[in-house]
């Protein structure tokens, strides 16, 4: 047990069978608010606009999140400077600011701070294990200095790179979570989810799972395969799930980045709060205890997870003060037909319309079939040239 006044750590909570609610997708949420640039998706806002990052942390905390992930996604120097992306701040400055903001808000409630590293352009460009590990090493120096509560290696398409990340994170002595952005077919080298999970646990991860790229249904399927693999290997681990807030039944192995709507026209696919409650319950029933979200998740989605799992957690989040259970607050509405919607069976069975009569319900994903080692994926420090763009436009035109 943690001494009075000291928060229980992530492994203490999970070992006790407690539900841990993760926060949501900062990169997408802040892009929509005007603080992140789509394309590079880098988190310089932590240093440039700390008030925006702080406020989003607060909203997720109020919604019931138990983890404040530092806004350090893609904050390795090779990514910050990739393809002519100009920075006023170094990776270290961004990561330090992000740690301070996450800690400040976590201290306002019962939340833990998680420092995160993600996949690198250097790995895609076939740099050596030592070179890639050196990038992770540089990032974790800040997390150790700022004393985050645990570490997450997240958003990895290749299990090999995730293993390298876990091996580096492990050297800190802090609890380590590892999350891949893969579907049921496995990583981009077709290593199965079960084998991926076993490799991550053997590398030293205490918590393994899936984040991003796919919807809750697909991610749940993939985590279940990971659970089977770990069990079959006679190993033990905790499991986490942090899916997209977008429906992706039509995705291929690369997930939503292959959808023609990515990233600027995904709104028709957004899950409702009721979809989120269903996801939270299914994840809990599968035995997953770290349940959160990734791109597309807004605080109201996180609140839905916390509300669905309130019986298990023993309390509602603060944000539920402004939200009646299953629409019950609509009983206060002036219009009688809206008051008639103040009930669970209405919202649970509703099939929402998109209001787009000429639009299909599914898309055909791009399937260029390129991954690490392919010339198209070699990264560069210089801006993408007009000639390079023209070649891509021509290739895209011929692929449709």
Band the pLDDT of 121: cuts 50, 70, 90: confident
Rounded CA separation 398/45 (Å): 37
Within a domain: residue 385? no
- The mean-pLDDT minimum among 159-163, 189-193, 251-255, 309-313 falls in 251-255
Within a domain: residue 119? yes
- The pTM of the full predicted model, rounded to 2 decimals, is 0.91
Helix runs in the chain, H state only: 10-15, 26-32, 45-48, 50-62, 77-80, 91-106, 121-124, 129-145, 159-170, 193-203, 216-232, 273-285, 299-308, 310-313, 336-339, 344-349, 386-399
Domain count, the chain: 1
Taking phi over 0 as left and psi of -120 to 50 as alpha, with beta for the rest, 175 belongs to beta
pLDDT in tens, 345-364: 999 999 999 999 999 999 98
Termini Cα distance of the chain: 58
In this model, does residue 334 exceed pLDDT 80? yes
| Residues placed in the known binding site | 212, 294-295
Within a domain: residue 1? no
In this model, does residue 2 exceed pLDDT 70? no
Rounded CA separation 160/280 (Å): 30
| Residues placed in the known binding site for Zn(2+) | 212, 294-295
Rounded CA separation 400/397 (Å): 6
**Cβ(180)–Cβ(187) below 8 Å:** yes
pLDDT of residue 379: 63
Torsion of CA 43, 46, 49, 50, to 10 degrees: 150
**Cβ(96)–Cβ(144) below 8 Å:** no
Mean pLDDT of 197-222: 98
In 3D space, the residue among 90, 155, 161 whose CA is nearest the CA of residue 123 turns out to be: 161
Rounded CA separation 126/100 (Å): 33
Within a domain: residue 400? no
Within a domain: residue 287? yes
CA atoms within 13 A on the CB side of 81: 10
pLDDT of residue 91: 82
Rounded CA separation 319/156 (Å): 32
Mean pLDDT of all residues in the chain? 92
pLDDT of residue 3: 46
Residue with tokens 């977008």: 246
Within a domain: residue 254? yes
Rounded CA separation 372/127 (Å): 10
In this model, does residue 254 exceed pLDDT 80? yes
Rounded CA separation 108/16 (Å): 23
In this model, does residue 1 exceed pLDDT 50? no
**Cβ(29)–Cβ(297) below 8 Å:** yes
**Cβ(14)–Cβ(207) below 8 Å:** yes
In this model, does residue 87 exceed pLDDT 60? yes
Give how far the C-alpha of residue 390 lies from the chain's centroid of Cα atoms, to the nearest Å. 32
Within a domain: residue 124? yes
Q: What CATH number is given to the structural domain containing 27?
A: 3.20.20.330
pLDDT of residue 384: 77
Q: For residue 35, what is the DSSP state?
A: S
Rounded CA separation 209/180 (Å): 6
pLDDT of residue 391: 78
pLDDT in tens, 163-189: 999 999 999 999 999 999 999 999 999
Domain that holds residue 225: 10-325
Within a domain: residue 62? yes
Query: Which tokens hold the place of 98?
Result: 């992000």
Rounded CA separation 233/237 (Å): 11
pLDDT of residue 374: 63
Q: Select, from the ranges 62-66, 81-85, 90-94, 373-377, the one with the highest average predicted confidence (pLDDT).
A: 62-66
pLDDT in tens, 26-85: 999 999 999 999 988 889 999 999 999 999 999 999 999 999 999 987 656 665 565 556
């Amino acid at each position: 047990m943690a001494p009075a006044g000291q928060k229980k750590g992530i492994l203490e909570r999970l070992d006790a069978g407690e539900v841990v609610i993760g926060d949501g997708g900062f990169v997408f949420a802040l892009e929509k608010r005007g603080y992140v640039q789509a394309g590079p998706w880098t988190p310089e806002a932590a240093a440039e606009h700390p008030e925006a990052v702080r406020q989003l942390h607060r909203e997720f905390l109020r919604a019931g999140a138990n983890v404040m992930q530092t806004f350090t996604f893609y904050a390795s120097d090779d990514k910050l400077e990739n393809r002519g992306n100009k920075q006023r701040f170094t990776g270290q400055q961004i990561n330090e600011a992000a740690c301070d903001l996450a800690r400040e808000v976590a201290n306002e409630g019962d939340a833990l701070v998680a420092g995160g590293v993600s996949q690198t352009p250097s790995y895609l460009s076939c740099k050596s294990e030592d070179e890639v590990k050196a990038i992770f090493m540089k990032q974790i120096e800040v997390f150790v200095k700022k004393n985050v509560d645990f570490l997450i290696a997240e958003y990895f398409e290749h299990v090999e790179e995730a293993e390298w990340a876990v091996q580096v994170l492990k050297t800190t002595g802090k609890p380590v979570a590892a999350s891949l952005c893969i579907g049921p077919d496995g990583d981009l080298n077709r290593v199965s989810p079960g084998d991926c999970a076993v490799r991550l646990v053997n590398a030293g991860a205490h918590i393994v799972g899936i984040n991003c790229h796919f919807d809750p249904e697909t991610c749940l399927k993939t985590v279940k395969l990971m659970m089977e693999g770990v069990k079959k290997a006679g190993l033990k681990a905790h499991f986490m799930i942090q899916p997209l807030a977008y429906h992706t039944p039509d995705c291929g192995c690369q997930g939503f980045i292959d959808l023609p709507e990515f990233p600027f026209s995904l709104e028709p696919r957004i899950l409702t709060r009721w979809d989120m409650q269903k996801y939270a319950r299914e994840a809990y029933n599968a035995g997953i205890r770290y349940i959160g979200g990734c791109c597309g998740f807004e605080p109201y989605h996180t609140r839905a997870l916390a509300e669905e799992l309130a019986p298990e957690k023993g309390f509602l989040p603060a944000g539920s003060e402004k939200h009646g259970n299953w629409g019950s607050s609509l009983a206060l509405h002036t219009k009688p037909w809206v008051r008639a919607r103040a009930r669970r069976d209405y919202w649970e069975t509703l099939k929402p319309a998109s209001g787009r009569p000429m639009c299909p319900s599914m898309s055909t994903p791009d399937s260029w079939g390129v991954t690490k080692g392919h010339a198209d994926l070699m990264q560069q420090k210089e801006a993408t040239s007009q000639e390079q763009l023209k070649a891509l436009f021509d290739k895209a035109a011929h692929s449709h």
